[in-house]
Amino acid sequence: MLGPLRTPAACALAALLAGCAAAPPHPRVPVSLSAAAQPTAQSPAQSTAQSPAPGDYSRPTSGRLTSTFGQRQLDGDFAPTDEPQAFGVEFSRVTSGNTLGFELGLQFADDRVRGARLSGGGIGNLELFQSEFYAGLRAQAGTGPLHPYLGAGATWVTSETRVSSGGLQARESSGDLGAYGHAGLLFEVSRSVHLSIEGRMTFFTDHSIDGTSFDSDYSQVTIGVGATY
């Protein structure tokens, strides 16, 4: 009984093994190492989200806020207080792709002399303080970190003089509308910090003391530091 049972089972097993051996192998798909190493293409949205490369100043800016410090030269009528220290703050905006924008700002100047010889005789202390508000157009060039610029517009200059001698003090203040112009060079240290140097002049402004009018136009040179955002 055992012999006849083993024979058909052995035959069936042998036939199964023979069929498996005769079956063709599954084809393998070759994988290219160069294709696998290639990075996947980024979508336009992903590329836009990345930060600009260093040195790329093409991004539009909302504006620049600059603090300036320098020296002012007035007409000789203001001597000896004709070389005040000047300082100010300015906001300007020129977007990328454009060369024309606008600017507005405040300027201040102060000079004090003690023991000055007064025109009417005697010795006293003299003080000059000037404040200025201006607004105008700004033209700017350059696509890299360096930007030469020009600006011009209207300005309101207020001059105040003070004289004190022997316990007495006199004060005169007047304001006048005029024009201004300036030219300079702006250097972007980074995408958020910039430096500048410029020359500036005013025109058609006067200052009155006891009914006598003086030319209060000035020229000045300043350096600036500010933020770009």
Residue 77 to residues 69, 82, 89: CA-CA distances in angstroms? 24, 8, 27
The rounded mean pLDDT for the chain is 79
User: Is the pLDDT assigned to residue 55 strictly greater than 50?
Assistant: no
The pLDDT of residue 96 is 67
Residue 196 to residues 70, 90, 101: CA-CA distances in angstroms? 12, 12, 17
Higher pLDDT, 154 or 172: 154
Neighbours of 44 (CB within 10 A): 7
Which has the closest alpha carbon to 66: 176, 194, 175? 194
The pLDDT of residue 36 is 42
Instruction: Go through the domains of the chain in sequence order and give each one's CATH number.
Output: 59-189+201-228 (2.40.160.20)
Please state the φ and ψ torsions of residue 52, each to the nearest 5 degrees: -60, 155
The pLDDT of residue 6 is 47
β-sheet bridge partners, residue 159: 130, 174
The pLDDT of residue 22 is 53
Dump pLDDT digits (tens) for 63-107.
999 999 999 999 888 888 999 999 999 999 987 677 899 999 999
The pLDDT of residue 182 is 97
User: Is the pLDDT assigned to residue 206 strictly greater than 80?
Assistant: yes
Give the pair of three-digit tokens for residue 175.
């304001």
Higher pLDDT, 223 or 170: 223
Question: 105: buried, middle or exposed (CB in 10 Å: 19+, 13-18, 0-12)?
Answer: buried
**Interatomic CA distance for residues 155 and 176, integer angstroms:** 8
**Lowest pLDDT segment from 33-47, 76-90, 135-149, 172-186:** 33-47
| 3-class secondary-structure state, position 36 | helix
89 Cβ neighbours under 8 A, 6+ residues apart: 65, 66, 67, 68, 105, 106
Q: What is the mean pLDDT of residues 133-152?
A: 93
The pLDDT of residue 23 is 52
Amino acid at site 173: S
User: Is the pLDDT assigned to residue 5 strictly greater than 90?
Assistant: no
**Interatomic CA distance for residues 131 and 155, integer angstroms:** 10
Q: What percent of the chain has pLDDT over 70?
A: 72
Instruction: Name the one residue in this structure whose structure tokens are 């410090």.
Output: 69
**Interatomic CA distance for residues 90 and 198, integer angstroms:** 13
**Interatomic CA distance for residues 139 and 183, integer angstroms:** 10
pTM of structure: 0.70
